[in-house]
């Protein structure tokens, strides 16, 4: 009997520390997870945000003595922890024990004189440290140890996978190599917190919260940073507190729709980031999208950021995915492998267009795991039945209620291996009736398609929306062909290869590398197509990418 596959906690969350302890004490495979109280999504967010507010980001000279640097900073208060990384130069993330230390450091910091250029004096928590005199410099490059913030190279992945012991081991190895590290997660919350300081110039009580794959436990190193500007935070916290027969309201300006209000708010924040935000470059205001957003690069952290407001539902979706990711350790391993597989075969892309998105793929894996017998994951409707009154959540008329308490959900009795699940996933979707069925994780069953988009995946909360409306027929067809091919390759491996070979790609590696037979097979097929058809497909996807630009950010 295999141990129960419950995840101890999500790496990249506060509880990651606990998980690491479990791993070092060798308990990870024993199902000892059940002994740990798993944290709610809201608790994790609260702790991380508070941690980020005590943290500063510092650009350092390459030659820096770590010891002297830390001693210098400790003048402002005790340091809880710190790490270094490279992104356009050496940077340090330093977390103080107390928030007051940040103010003390800011009081001891100067706005630089820039010679011919003029500095805009902006007191942020992003600093540069300079060495006062040359003689203080250590003679050679310091030995600061940099943490890695980038995804592993294909070569590295290939090596890791070929040396794994089984296909199950390969899937877990891939997960470990790509998942967000503790440091990367800290940097994501810190970046939101720095942007919050800028937005606070207009809205002093706002909160900027990460959502999407940065927090839903399905983020890969290098994924974008989705940010939600929450202007309701204070209202929700204090509205109920007053007594007496009066209700106080602020005098406000009004505009004709919620959408226009959102556009106006994002427009000024975009300007502010562009003009005054240290390290914020390439600011684009994409205000006519279905869900308006400001996109920019945060150079010092290396993150591509998408800032939105007025989409609280997406935050709830992130919480739901976090729950699913934490319920069973097989979920994340399978999602990461499917995402890597899709990326390797260009089924997904960083450019918006008629492609399947990572978000859609995650929903497909969750749905597939709901369809196993016995199910590995419960339906959203079931999670709703477990909700307490405090979980109740209605957003813009949509019922977003479900339990936030992971410990209420019984572990699945299903003991299928990852190897089997991977094969079955490809078979399941290689034969799925996409033409008539919709993927519905709320009910955990396929439903009749309500409209004619090639791929229909119901948004779990805004049930009239299709999260994969952007996907065109040829992209879906490509997905199906590759899924069938991959199922076939895994079956052949079963027959042909008695033991894994270290020199040749096998198992998951055979599915990921472009040299696999299936891509040759598909290339041949592609070449057979007349050029006109290939060009038509290309035009379709470009057309798709224009009209679907807004769709792609839908729900954000």
- CB 522 → ligand CTP: shortest distance, Å? 23
Q: Which long-range contacts (CB under 8 A, 24 or more apart) does 335-338 make?
A: 335/218, 335/361, 335/362, 335/365, 336/171, 336/174, 336/175, 336/178, 336/179, 336/218, 336/220, 337/170, 337/171, 337/174, 337/175, 337/422, 337/508, 338/364, 338/365, 338/425
**Footprint (CB under 6 A) of ligand CTP, residues 214-243:** 216, 219, 223-224, 226
Nearest distance in Å: CB 312, ligand CTP? 11
Q: Are 401 and 387 in contact (CB under 8 A)?
A: yes
Nearer to ligand CTP, 7 or 305 (CB): 305
Q: Which of 13, 358, 401, 486 binds ligand CTP (CB under 6 A)?
A: 358
Per-position x/- string for 294-333, each x denoting binding to ligand CTP as judged by CB under 6 A, each - no binding: --------------------x--xx---------------
CB 395, min distance to ligand CTP, A: 12
Out of ligand CTP, Mg ion, none, which partner does residue 444 contact, by CB within 5 to 8 A per kind?
A: none
Tell me the closest approach of the beta carbon of residue 348 to ligand CTP, in angstroms: 7
DSSP-assigned beta bridge partners for residue 295:
284, 306
460 contributes a contact to ligand CTP by CB under 6 A: no
**Which lies closer to ligand CTP via its Cβ, residue 343 or residue 371?**
343
For ligand CTP, the binding residue among 184, 414, 458, 554 (CB under 6 A) is: 554
Tokens standing for 101? Answer: 């230390």
Counting contacts by CB under 6 A, is residue 172 touching ligand CTP?
no
**Closest distance between ligand CTP and the C-beta of residue 156, in Å?**
20
Cis preceding linkage at 374, omega within 30: yes
Contacts with Mg ion by CB under 5 A lie at 212-213, 224, 226
- To the nearest whole angstrom, how small is the minimum distance from the Cβ of residue 556 to ligand CTP? 5
> Which 3 state secondary structure label does DSSP give 144?
coil
Q: Which residues on neighbouring strands pair with residue 55, listed in sequence order?
A: 95
Q: Could you say whether residue 186 binds ligand CTP (CB under 6 A)?
A: no
Q: Is 548 in the site for ligand CTP (CB under 6 A)?
A: no
Do the Cβ atoms of 299 and 225 come closer than 8 Å? no
Site string for ligand CTP, 199-218 (x = CB under 6 A): ------------xxx--x--
b/e code 3-38 from CB counts within 10 Å (16+ = b): ebbbbbbbbbbbbbebbeebeeeeebeebbbeebeb
Q: Output 65 or 304, the one with its CB closest to ligand CTP.
A: 304
Please return the burial class of 544, using the count of CB atoms within 10 Å of its CB with bins 0-12, 13-18 and 19+.
buried
CA–CA separation, 271 and 266 (whole Å): 9
Measured from the CB atom, the residue of 360 and 414 that comes closer to Mg ion is: 360
Question: Does 5 sit near ligand CTP (CB under 6 A)?
Answer: no
The CA angle 40-394-7, to the nearest 5 degrees, is: 25
Q: Which does 357 bind (CB under 5 to 8 A by kind): Mg ion, ligand CTP, none?
A: ligand CTP
Furthest C-alpha separation in the chain: 79
CB of 190 to Mg ion, least distance (A): 17
Residue 379's binding partner among ligand CTP, Mg ion, none (Cβ under 5 to 8 angstroms by kind) is none
What is the Cα–Cα distance from 310 to 292, expressed in whole angstroms? Answer: 9
Determine the Cα–Cα distance for residues 55 and 430; give it in Å rounded to an integer. Answer: 48
Q: What is the DSSP letter of 74?
A: G
In the complex, least distance from residue 441 CB atom to ligand CTP, rounded to whole angstroms:
12
Interface with ligand CTP (CB under 6 A): 211-213, 216, 219, 223-224, 226, 314, 317-318, 357-359, 467, 554-556
């Amino acid at each position: 009997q295999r141990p129960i596959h419950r995840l101890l906690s999500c790496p990249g969350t506060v509880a990651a520390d606990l998980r690491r302890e479990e791993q070092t004490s060798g308990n990870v495979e024993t199902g000892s997870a059940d002994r740990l109280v798993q944290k709610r999504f809201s608790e994790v967010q609260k702790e991380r945000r508070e941690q980020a507010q005590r943290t500063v980001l510092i650009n350092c000279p390459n030659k820096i003595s770590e010891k002297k640097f830390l001693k210098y900073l400790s003048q402002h208060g005790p340091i809880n922890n710190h790490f270094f990384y490279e992104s356009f130069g050496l940077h340090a993330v330093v977390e103080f024990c107390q928030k007051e230390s940040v103010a003390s450091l800011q009081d001891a910091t100067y706005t630089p004189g820039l010679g011919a250029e003029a500095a805009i004096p902006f007191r942020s928590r992003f600093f540069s440290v300079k060495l006062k005199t040359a003689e203080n410099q250590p003679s050679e490059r310091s030995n600061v140890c940099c943490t890695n913030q980038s995804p592993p190279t294909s070569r590295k992945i290939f090596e890791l996978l070929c040396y794994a012991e089984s296909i199950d081991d390969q899937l877990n190895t891939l997960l470990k190599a790509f998942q967000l590290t503790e440091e990367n997660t800290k940097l994501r919350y810190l970046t939101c917190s720095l942007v919050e300081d800028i937005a606070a110039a207009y809205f002093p009580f706002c909160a900027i919260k990460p959502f999407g794959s940065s927090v839903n436990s399905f983020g890969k190193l290098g994924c974008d940073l989705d940010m939600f500007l929450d202007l309701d935070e204070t209202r929700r916290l204090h509205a109920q507190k007053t007594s007496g027969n009066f209700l106080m309201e602020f005098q406000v300006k009004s505009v004709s729709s919620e959408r226009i209000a959102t556009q106006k708010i994002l427009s000024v924040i975009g300007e502010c980031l562009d003009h005054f935000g240290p390290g914020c470059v390439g600011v684009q205001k994409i205000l006519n999208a279905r869900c308006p957003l400001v996109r920019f690069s945060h150079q010092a952290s290396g993150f591509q950021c998408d800032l939105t407001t007025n989409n609280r539902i997406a935050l709830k979706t992130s919480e739901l995915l976090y729950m699913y990711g934490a319920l069973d350790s097989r979920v994340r391993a399978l999602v990461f492998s499917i995402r890597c597989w899709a990326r390797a075969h260009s089924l997904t892309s960083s450019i918006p267009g008629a492609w399947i998105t990572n978000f859609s793929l995650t929903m497909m894996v969750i749905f597939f795991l709901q369809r196993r017998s016995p199910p590995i994951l419960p339906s959203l409707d079931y999670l709703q039945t477990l909700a307490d009154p405090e979980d109740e959540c209605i957003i813009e008329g949509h019922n977003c209620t479900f339990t936030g308490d992971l410990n209420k959900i019984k572990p699945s009795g299903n003991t299928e291996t990852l190897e089997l699940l991977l094969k079955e996933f490809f078979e399941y979707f290689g034969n799925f009736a996409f033409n008539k069925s919709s993927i519905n994780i709320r009910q955990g069953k396929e439903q009749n398609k309500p409209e004619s988009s090639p791929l229909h995946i119901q948004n779990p909360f805004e049930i009239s929306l299709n999260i994969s409306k952007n996907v065109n027929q040829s992209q879906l067809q490509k997905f199906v062909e590759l899924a069938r091919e991959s199922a076939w390759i895994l079956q052949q491996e079963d027959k042909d290869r008695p033991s894994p070979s270290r020199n040749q790609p096998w198992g998951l590696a055979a599915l990921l590398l472009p040299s696999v037979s299936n891509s040759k097979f598909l290339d041949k097929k592609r070449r057979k197509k007349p050029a006109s058809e290939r060009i038509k497909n290309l035009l379709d996807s470009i057309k798709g990418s224009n009209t679907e630009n807004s769709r792609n950010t839908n729900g954000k």
